Amino acid sequence: MDIEKLRYLMERDGYSNFRIKQAKKAVYFRLISSWDEASDLSEELRKLLKNELPISSFTEVRKQESKDSLKLLLKTNDGQFIETVLMRHLNQKQDETMEGRNTICISSQAGCPMGCSFCATGKMGLKRNLTAEEIVDQVLHFARILKKDGSKVNNIVFMGMGEPFNNYDNVMLAIKTLNDKDGFNIGIRHISVSTCGIVPAIKKFADEETQVNLAISLHAPNDKIRNQIMPINKAYNIKKLLDAVDYYIEKTNRKVMFEYILIDGVNDSEENARELAKLMHKKLYHLNLIKYHDTGVYKSTSKDKRRIFFDILKKAGVSTTFRISFGEDISAACGQLSTKEVMIEPNVKK
């Protein structure tokens, strides 16, 4: 929902700040899906908002569900398509009821201009930046779905379509709204931004001295490989990238996550693991190894090879985990988000 427009409309018609707060609360806390549900607002105000301010900037075009994830295809008001994913980490409690954390993986752009060769979104090119409102609305959309079974959003990661630091101002504004106690009110440490390595933006982000988590899509242990699979490396090589990360750590004292997708024959040799171990030796670095999900360009590293790679890093003392993969069966996993089918066939039905 366009919060500026809400304020403008209500101030124009003489409503007090208290009423504006009430309307915001209905959207962000009570997670209404229509202004008709905002029973604490007068009928006249509900009518005004219903006519002039849609609750969401998206329509839901398609839903794909697996046991641990839900992927949505959303259409913006000007006809752009984006994908956004809910990942559910469910555990069985001792009393046999279920409890869990819900992470929303959101998009910051429709498409992406960065051209990483292993990424489905990268093949689309950039359509346009999303507005702060559209970024927040992805979270609200899932929050409304989760509310139906008494659950809520626990974490938000900017790891969907797009490079968040290419849309810096809107991403930061969206984070402010998501964290605002009069907005969605999620803890700042429950938000993570992932970048392919735009060095000046990492430094700017560090200067904000925010407690938002930073993740880096590294995916290569040296410049030769990184240049081949991530064009950004030609502008900002690994040394420049790690210098910027160290600056962020110096400013925030926060741990940084490095993402590394293992791609068969590209970046997964034992030598590559040893090179990577040398880069990842710093105290607040954490490495997430990720299984490559087929996007039709490369093959996934075998389980045995993944184990060997992991063991080399562990033995070298690197803080390393294998990231659990969600939603591979519905193309919702890392590097798989793309709306290419919809662009070919725009009249997809739910």
Catalog residues that contact ligand SF4 under the rule CB under 6 A: 112, 114-116, 119, 121-122, 161-163, 196, 217
| DSSP helix/strand/coil, 301 | coil
What's 266's DSSP letter?
Answer: T
Closer to ligand SF4 by Cβ: residue 82 or 119: 119
Cβ of residue 116: shortest distance to ligand SF4, in angstroms? 3
Cβ of residue 123: shortest distance to ligand SF4, in angstroms? 8
Write the DSSP assignment of 24-50 as a string of letters. HHHHHTS--SSGGG-TTS-HHHHHHHH
Structural contact between residues 192 and 156, judged by C-beta atoms closer than 8 angstroms: yes
Write down the catalytic residue from 105, 116, 196, 334: 334
Diameter of the chain measured on Cα atoms: 69
Question: From CA 211, how far away is CA 207, in angstroms rounded?
Answer: 11
Question: From CA 244, how far away is CA 105, in angstroms rounded?
Answer: 24
Q: Token digits for 174?
A: 């969206």
Cβ of residue 182: shortest distance to ligand SF4, in angstroms? 31
Q: Is 196 an annotated catalytic residue?
A: no
Quick count: other Cβ atoms within 10 Å of Cβ 147?
A: 15
- CB neighbours of 288 closer than 8 A, spacing ≥ 6? 215, 257, 258, 259, 260, 320, 321, 322, 323
Closer to ligand SF4 by Cβ: residue 133 or 163: 163
Q: How many residues does the chain have?
A: 350
Closer to ligand SF4 by Cβ: residue 72 or 119: 119
Q: Is 83 an annotated catalytic residue?
A: yes
Closer to ligand SF4 by Cβ: residue 112 or 199: 112
Closer to ligand SF4 by Cβ: residue 48 or 214: 214
Cβ of residue 107: shortest distance to ligand SF4, in angstroms? 9
Cβ of residue 183: shortest distance to ligand SF4, in angstroms? 26
Cite the active site residues: 83, 334
